[in-house]
Structures are given as C-alpha cells and as structure tokens.
C-alpha cells in the first residue's frame, strides 16, 4: 500500500519525526534524539543488545531485582495493595520478577505499561497475560517526557512507578529532574518510585558495552538512518557513516555518534531538503549518563521522594533505588 493511501495516520507520525530531524540535522553540531531509535526494528535491535555479552546493564539489573524483589515490593507497599506503572516498559522482561514478588503478597496485579512503541507493548501484554496469571496489563502508548496523566489508584492501593533499565540516563540532568518532578506531581503521598541507574566504571567496560564485537549496537545506531530513508525519503548510504561510542569523562556519560566517512550531501526527497556533511563530522544520537553512588538518592530527594532503600550488585556496576513520595508542602495540592 502506498503511503498516500492513509495520509492522516502517516502524517501525524511523520510530523514529529520530521520536526525532530529538521531541528537536529539543522543544528551544529548535528544531533538526533534517542527516541528515534525505537521504531519496530529498533526496539527489536535493542532487545538483542540486552542479550549481548558486553552489555552488562540488563543482566546486572535483573540479578539485583531477583535478589531483592520481595524486599523492594514490601517497602513500597507497606500494608497496601500495589499497582505497577512502568515508564518505557518495552518488553517488560525484567519487570516479571517484581510482578511475581507482588503476587506473593496480594491477589492480582494491575500493570500499566507506558511506552512510545506500540509493537513492543502489544508483545509484552500478550506474553505477560499468558505467562503470569493474575496480572492485568493496560497499555499506555505515550511519550512520558511530554507530560502525562495517570489515573488515580483505587482506595487502599498504592502505585509503584518502575523506571528501570537506566532509561533516565538518556536525559540531561535538568531534564531528568523535570521528568521526576512531573512524575511526583502525578502521585499521592506514599506512592513509590523504583529507579534503576547504571554506575561509572572502568572505561573499557563502558566502551565495549556501547560498541559490541557483533556490531548490534552499530546497527541500532544506524537504524536512525534506515528510518529516515524509509519515513522521510532520504538517501543516506549506510556504508558512508560509522558508529562511534565515546566516554565523555567530564559529563560522566557515554555518547553515541554517527560519523560521516566523507564530505557528502544527503537528500530528503519527501522534504525537498538537503543536508551536507563534512568528512569526520558526526550526528550525536545518544547520551547515556553514568552515575556515582549517592546520585540516584539525590535525584529522588530533589523530586520529592524520601529514600527508602538502595541495592547494588556485588561488582557495584548498577544500582536500584526505591523512594516514597513525600507529602507535598503547604499550599500545594496533593
Ligand atoms: C535504554 C537508554 C538505557 O543507554 O544503555 C543501548 C540504550 N544505547 N545501547 C543505554 C542503548 C546503546 C540504553 N538505554
């Protein structure tokens, strides 16, 4: 079917993509926002990344959750029933251990999965409802960075927001703070936030995790070019860009870039637009901040969450923190 056959649908999606691309590739240095990774192919590539030997994040966080899920859930719930709301849920693979821990304390569990990728969400819903009896999955296809509203919980129920996988690391510190404050404003006192963050470690480990031998991360990064070619009619030649992973010590973040192999010009047929690249010039596609012990607790405190607990793995590579929404100050509305 041609794109023109369903103009309303394709236009709405393309407008956001087009805007982001025009702004990003029109800037100096050139940038593209990481949410552009996650079309269907990109979400699938990310799932493959989580299984790479070099990509320690997912399996390290899973090990922390497996060792401490009951404790985390008990701290968050107190004497109340819990409802889970996961930001950037994706396949919700690691969440299953927390679901099982919750189901050991209560009958049934409401799981609200928030993600920008509908395909990832649908697959997660089917699997979870089939494999973990008692869990009801509600899908919220939205970009949680642009302000969102959550339904009120039932009486006697508390919400535990799961923000795991070091997803918050994609945002600059001020933006991350804004997202957490916004989230806090959607919660009631006593609701919980479980935050997973990746920690600073040996540079060689970090570099390997973002530049794997099999080249899956390179394909994930270049998927942005594939996506623009498909959705915006551009003519990026994938062989003319190289995947680069860089540790930025000063900013405490891993960066991913796509580096132009030559002076070249890329044409966007659908936009009647051209972009020039110099040899060695890069498109900065992602920041992945790495934290130090105490950083996550400070972020939580600044957003209005009281620290309830922190867990790490034995190598100290990754950290999971639970905070509880504090009563808001006088003059504010709960
Ligand atoms: C999903 C943002 C946590 O930064 O490690 C994986 C994305 N980028 N490999 C990360 C990613 C390159 C991932 N986050």
Interval 128-168: pLDDT, tens: 999 999 999 999 888 888 777 888 888 899 999 999 999 99
- What tokens does 9 get? 């649908």
**How far apart are alpha carbons 64 and 78 in whole angstroms?**
21
What tens digit of pLDDT does each residue of 102-138 get?
Answer: 999 999 999 999 987 788 788 889 999 999 999 999 9
3-state SS of the chain: helix, strand, coil percent to 5?
A: 40, 25, 30
What's the whole-number average pLDDT of the chain?
A: 92
Nearest to 281 by CA among 255, 256, 260, 257: 260
**Comparison of pLDDT for 44 and 333, the residue scoring more:** 44
The pLDDT assigned to 332 comes to 52
Only one residue has tokens 């236009």, namely 11
**Each residue of 282-309: pLDDT tens digit?**
999 999 999 999 999 999 999 999 999 9
State which of 45, 55, 166 you would mutate to test the pocket of ligand 1, scoring each by most atoms of that ligand within 8 A of its C-beta: 166
To the nearest whole percent, how much of the chain has pLDDT over 70?
Answer: 94
Distance CA(122)–CA(117), nearest Å, equals 9
CA–CA separation, 69 and 90 (whole Å): 20
Quote the ligand 1 centre to 17 CA distance (angstroms). 20
Positive or negative, the CA dihedral 104, 105, 109, 115 is negative
Tens digit of pLDDT for each residue in 65-88? 999 999 999 999 999 999 999 998
- Residue ranges of the alpha helices (H) in the chain? 7-26, 40-49, 56-77, 95-103, 118-131, 173-185, 203-209, 216-232, 295-302
pLDDT tens digit sequence for 227-239? 999 999 999 999 9
Half-sphere exposure of 161 (CA within 13 A, CB side): 29
pLDDT number for residue 19: 95
**The pLDDT of residue 329:** 66
Q: What's the confidence (pLDDT) of residue 109?
A: 97
77/92 Cα distance (integer angstroms): 20
- Look at residue 199 and tell me whether its pLDDT is greater than 50: yes
Atom of ligand 1 nearest to the CA of 88: 1
> What's the pTM value of the predicted model, to 2 decimals?
0.92
Output the residue whose Cα is nearest ligand 1's atom 5. 288
Cα Rg, the chain, nearest whole Å: 21
- pLDDT-derived band at 330 (thresholds 50, 70, 90) equals low
Give 198's DSSP letter: E
Of 164, 168, 192, 172, nearest to 81 by C-alpha is 192
**pLDDT value of residue 1:** 39
**Ligand 1, residues 92, 115, 169: which to mutate, most atoms within 8 A of Cβ?**
169
Tell me which residue of 274, 272, 210, 280 sits closest to 236, measured CA to CA: 274
């Amino acid at each position: 079917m041609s794109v023109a056959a369903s103009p309303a649908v394709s236009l709405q999606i393309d407008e956001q993509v087009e805007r982001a691309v025009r702004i990003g590739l029109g800037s100096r240095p050139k940038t593209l926002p990481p949410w552009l990774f996650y079309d269907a192919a990109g979400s699938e590539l990310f799932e493959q990344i989580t299984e790479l030997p070099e990509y320690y994040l997912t399996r390290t966080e899973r090990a922390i959750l497996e060792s401490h899920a009951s404790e985390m859930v008990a701290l968050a719930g107190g004497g109340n029933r819990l409802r889970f709301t996961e930001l950037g849920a994706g396949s919700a693979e690691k969440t299953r251990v927390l679901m099982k821990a919750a189901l050991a304390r209560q009958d049934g569990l409401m799981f609200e999965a928030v993600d920008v990728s509908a395909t990832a969400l649908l697959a997660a819903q089917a699997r979870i409802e089939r494999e973990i009896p008692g869990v009801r999955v509600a899908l919220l296809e939205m970009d949680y960075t642009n302000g969102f509203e959550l339904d009120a919980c039932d009486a006697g129920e508390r919400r535990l927001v799961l923000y795991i996988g070091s997803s918050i690391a994609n945002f600059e510190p001020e933006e991350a703070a804004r997202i957490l404050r916004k989230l806090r404003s959607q919660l009631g006192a006593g609701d919980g936030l479980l935050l997973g963050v990746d920690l600073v470690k040996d540079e060689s480990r970090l570099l390997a995790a973002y530049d794997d031998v099999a080249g899956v991360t390179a394909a994930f990064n270049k998927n942005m070019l594939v996506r623009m070619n498909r959705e915006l009619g551009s003519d990026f030649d994938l062989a003319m860009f190289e995947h680069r992973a860089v540790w930025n010590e000063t900013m405490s973040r891993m960066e991913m870039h796509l580096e132009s192999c030559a002076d070249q010009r890329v044409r966007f047929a659908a936009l009647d637009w051209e972009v020039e690249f110099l040899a060695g010039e890069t498109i900065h596609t992602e920041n992945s901040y790495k934290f130090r012990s105490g950083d996550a607790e400070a972020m939580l405190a600044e957003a209005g969450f009281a620290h309830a607990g922190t867990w790490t793995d034995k190598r100290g590579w990754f950290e999971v923190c639970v905070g509880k929404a504090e009563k808001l100050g006088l003059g504010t509305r709960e």
